Structure 1
């Protein structure tokens, strides 16, 4: 069986979500073959998919939303990027279809898994293969919210999504009115690779779990003055930016570990609203301090889900930039109970049943 995973290059969260699903699928069916069709950087893919035998083809199927920074979007640049990609897709579909056809073994079953680039359906149709979306939103909803000339792109995306075969509907979802059969799944996340004791020993970490925070803002990162970390001297921080790591109570994320791998020794994650980060933290029973994010319709749905299902605190961008992180205050309990974990296993079983 061959899984052709078309992964959005918008951010690492899409890649992490697909990695969780393919990891579960590999454990259930080790003979499955995996092809990653994505522009995500090789360094990220090597980390996220380290335990999954795979091939990669560097293909850009969507642009998502061009971001001004980790907390804000740039609609004008997004429109320009969409207009630049559109005339390239027909040739890319033809080249990729030829390459994938040559990979398929006689009689081998295959499916296109897309998270969540609309143009992936063009590849599936060219190959005469079914396409399963994995999503908690589509770009149609995001572009509709941004308005202006992007509304026409929202309609185009919606039409492409409707041409898929099925939908794996993730938690924290926007409305996806694509009129497809769907399977609702629980929290989908990967599995940390080391135990807390192994982690502490390997990286030399002395801060207690309840005094350890991870600053995680995705692939773009977020520039901060390291003096803000020193406002909380009894806390230790894992950070992604070398400049922040110069603070005496900070440590740069080890290059051979994913943020997920460090969560077992963290008490809280400070982050923007992001699907995979929320799933990974809530799945590990870790609190989340979320910083407001502008110009992205998914953000408010994620924050509502966090308030309902996780120990949390929500910060304004202004408070975050001042270092007013309220780490000395208890987190707010969830309004409802926790979400069920294991969504990646549910999705993997669905795909296996779908293929067989």
Structure 2
């Protein structure tokens, strides 16, 4: 029997797609150590290695755009549109190049999160394409068409690509994703903490109690102008952050990647303060860690995430002014209880991995 070979294409946007894709890749590798993983992404190798313990091939290619951003919430729609139009003009060249690579390397299946061109690439190569996501880029771009009508054309093109996908694993906290013809709903994806709470408290010298320990995490691009001066109002609290540009405050601890990941420290925290992001929310849901999040009115996925997360977790939803210019009194306020407190949280990593391996091994 030949070695199963998986081509995993991950969107060129932030770190969230990379971490959830890598979490699934790690489970595939755990279930079948013989599998050859080819990760096709511009995400940094250190980030992928923080989630995938075994070997993999990294093919640094970007054949989608996501959103051009200066930080985790500041978007450049005009630049995004220009890059999308350029990408569409190059699609035949990109497809030909990747089909050649796939055939040369005898890839058995494409799994994508969620570059639209992955589906026509797989179709041209004559192999199945599975995708995984809670939203499609057509959903994001169509929401901007009032400001830039050309996004409607881009969204139609992307939806046509998605329609060529053989099977979508639809993650929780999702939009309808109606461009896909075959949809399988799965559970939450994400990493598993590497340390016990006791180990974390010792390694990080955490002296504040859990109910006064807070993780600040705003995605791979970070967030400009976080009002760190508010932390001085909470001298007996402990705040953890991965942000590299932080002031020297006695109650603010900078954590270094990749030794620690957000999911590693969540169990030691009372809550997570974040912008809307699937991977952070999904890992919090898997661990039942409350979320405090700011809203994002110009990114369609954000409203879906915020609404759906309130089903599963204790939450506080803040207006941007409460976070950026307020005094952070929200830390003293109670959480809104989850709407569905006993909702199951099945393991999406395992569900997707098992289905992918069944297809690869029976090809």
* TM-score, L = length of structure 1: 0.93
CA distance in 1: counterparts of 2:253 and 2:139, whole angstroms: 38
2:127 aligned to which of 126, 129, 147: 129
* 1:136-151 alignment, distance < 5 Å: 136-147=134-145, 148-151=149-152
CA distance in 2: counterparts of 1:306 and 1:111, whole angstroms: 32
SS at match of 2:19: helix
Q: How far 1:218 moved relative to its partner?
A: 0.5
CA distance in 2: counterparts of 1:268 and 1:89, whole angstroms: 43
1:40 aligned to which of 27, 43, 47: 43
Tell me what 2:95 maps to: 93
Q: How far 1:7 moved relative to its partner?
A: 0.2
Q: Is residue 2:246 matched to residue 1:241?
A: no
Q: Residues 175 and 304 of structure 2 are in contact (CA less than 8 Å); yes or no, is this contact kept in structure 1?
A: yes
Q: Is residue 2:308 matched to residue 1:300?
A: no
Tell me what 1:204 maps to: 205
SS at match of 2:132: strand
Q: Residues 165 and 180 of structure 2 are in contact (CA less than 8 Å); yes or no, is this contact kept in structure 1?
A: no
1:177–1:20 CA distance, 2 compared to 1 (3 A): same
Let me know the Cα RMSD of the aligned residues: 1.7
**Count of residues in correspondence between the two structures:** 351
Tell me what 2:332 maps to: 328
Q: Residues 187 and 339 of structure 1 are in contact (CA less than 8 Å); yes or no, is this contact kept in structure 2?
A: no
Q: How far 1:343 moved relative to its partner?
A: 1.2
Q: How far 1:299 moved relative to its partner?
A: 0.7
Q: How far 1:185 moved relative to its partner?
A: 0.5
* 1:60-75 alignment, distance < 5 Å: 60-67=62-69, 69-75=71-77
CA distance in 2: counterparts of 1:286 and 1:179, whole angstroms: 32
Q: Could you give the per-residue CA deviations for residues 98-146 of structure 1, whole angstroms, max 9, x where no partner exists? A: 3333333xxxx61100101101123212321110010111111111111
CA distance in 2: counterparts of 1:354 and 1:313, whole angstroms: 41
Q: Which consecutive residues of structure 1, in runs of 5 or more, have no partner in the other structure? A: none
Q: How far 1:86 moved relative to its partner?
A: 2.8
Q: Which runs of 4+ in 1 moved over 4 A?
A: none
CA distance in 2: counterparts of 1:286 and 1:244, whole angstroms: 24
Tell me what 1:353 maps to: 358
Q: Residues 213 and 237 of structure 1 are in contact (CA less than 8 Å); yes or no, is this contact kept in structure 2?
A: yes
2:18 aligned to which of 11, 15, 18: 15
Tell me what 2:281 maps to: 278
Q: How far 1:196 moved relative to its partner?
A: 1.5
CA distance in 2: counterparts of 1:243 and 1:346, whole angstroms: 38
Q: How far 1:245 moved relative to its partner?
A: 5.0
1:33–1:317 CA distance, 2 compared to 1 (3 A): same
SS at match of 1:67: coil
Q: Residues 23 and 190 of structure 1 are in contact (CA less than 8 Å); yes or no, is this contact kept in structure 2?
A: no
Tell me what 1:344 maps to: 349
Q: Residues 26 and 51 of structure 2 are in contact (CA less than 8 Å); yes or no, is this contact kept in structure 1?
A: no
CA distance in 1: counterparts of 2:212 and 2:285, whole angstroms: 18
Structure 1, 37-46 or 1-10: larger mean CA deviation: 37-46
Q: Is residue 2:268 matched to residue 1:265?
A: yes
Structure 1, 87-96 or 188-197: larger mean CA deviation: 87-96
Q: Residues 161 and 178 of structure 1 are in contact (CA less than 8 Å); yes or no, is this contact kept in structure 2?
A: yes
1:151–1:339 CA distance, 2 compared to 1 (3 A): farther
Tell me what 1:290 maps to: 293
Q: How far 1:184 moved relative to its partner?
A: 0.7
Q: How far 1:325 moved relative to its partner?
A: 5.1
Q: Residues 113 and 133 of structure 1 are in contact (CA less than 8 Å); yes or no, is this contact kept in structure 2?
A: yes
SS at match of 2:143: helix
SS at match of 2:208: coil
